[in-house]
Amino acid sequence: MLGVFTGVAACSASALMAYAVRGRSAALFAPSVYRGTAARRSVALTFDDGPSPGTEQLLDILDGHGAFATFFQCGMNVERFPQTAHAAAAAGHEIGNHAWSHPLFCRLRPAAIDFEIGRAQDAIRQATGVTPRLFRAPFGVRWFGLRRAQNKRNLMGVMWSVLGRDWRLSGEAIAARVLRKVHNGAIVCLHDGRQLHPRPDLGATLEAVRILLPALRARGFAFETVSQIVCPTTH
């Protein structure tokens, strides 16, 4: 299998390549966690691509339910909306790094991947006062150079076990999908931005979260951050 990876210089849309860079075999490029401990009835909601103007509404919804989540922020969006980035951290949510400009890493050289992660780390630290310990690759795509860039900043790679597909489904459909797939230790991927779009419509995501928070609670789930849910001894 190794020849498949070493022989490829550019990104391919083929199913094989999708598996190679997004599937578990991508640990060749950089290790990642996909789920938390199954020992507790807990779920980690994660939101990528923010902050955006809609993030404040999401923070209000989470606050109304006393739920904590994890935000994988893009550095460029943090620089656009530093107060929103700060508000998420100040409210007690965990902040992770989602690169500077949301590129496909399989189109970048290792030095560019390193730059993307370092610049986002700096922007997040400046806006929020927090130095992220978590990293989620844009599009979930990991590539040559990512392992080193993660390691030198002590970043843990985080994927997901439940993908909400909230960029294309209705709020009700997103919620139904998540409730169908959720499990103990689930890491659920949703979005409070759309890559670098300055004013994305988060309507479907917000509606889904309004449904999901009480529905998951009713099923006995507690909400944890990613750092909490990957730790077997949090409780």
Q: Of 109, 149, 135, 122, whose CA–CA distance to 227 is shortest?
A: 135
Residues of 190-210 as b/e, b for ≥16 C-beta within 10 angstroms?
bbbbbbbeeebebebbbbbbb
- How near is the Cβ of 209 to Zn ion at its closest, in Å? 17
Q: Strands (DSSP E) along 88-213, which ranges?
A: 94-97, 134-135, 156-158, 162-163, 186-191
| Residue count, binding to Zn ion (CB under 5 A) | 3
The structure tokens listed for 88 are: 């998420």
Q: Is 93 a catalytic residue?
A: no
The Cβ of residue 87 has, within 10 Å, a number of other Cβ atoms equal to: 17
To the nearest whole angstrom, how small is the minimum distance from the Cβ of residue 98 to Zn ion? 6
Site string for Zn ion, 27-56 (x = CB under 5 A): ---------------------xx-------
Q: Which is nearer to Zn ion, 5 or 167 (CB)?
A: 167
SS3 for 90?
helix
Beta carbon of residue 49, minimum distance to Zn ion (angstroms, whole number): 4
Q: Which of residues 58-87 bind Zn ion (CB under 5 A)?
A: none
Distance CA 179, CA 177 (A): 6
> Is 48 annotated as catalytic?
yes
Q: Between 48 and 94, name the residue whose CB sits nearer to Zn ion.
A: 48
Catalytic residue among 86, 93, 98, 191: 191
Please, what is the minimum distance in Å from the beta carbon of residue 137 to Zn ion?
Answer: 8
Active-site annotation holder among 48, 49, 114, 192? 48
Which sequence positions are flagged as catalytic? 48, 191
Binding site for Zn ion (CB under 5 A): 48-49, 138
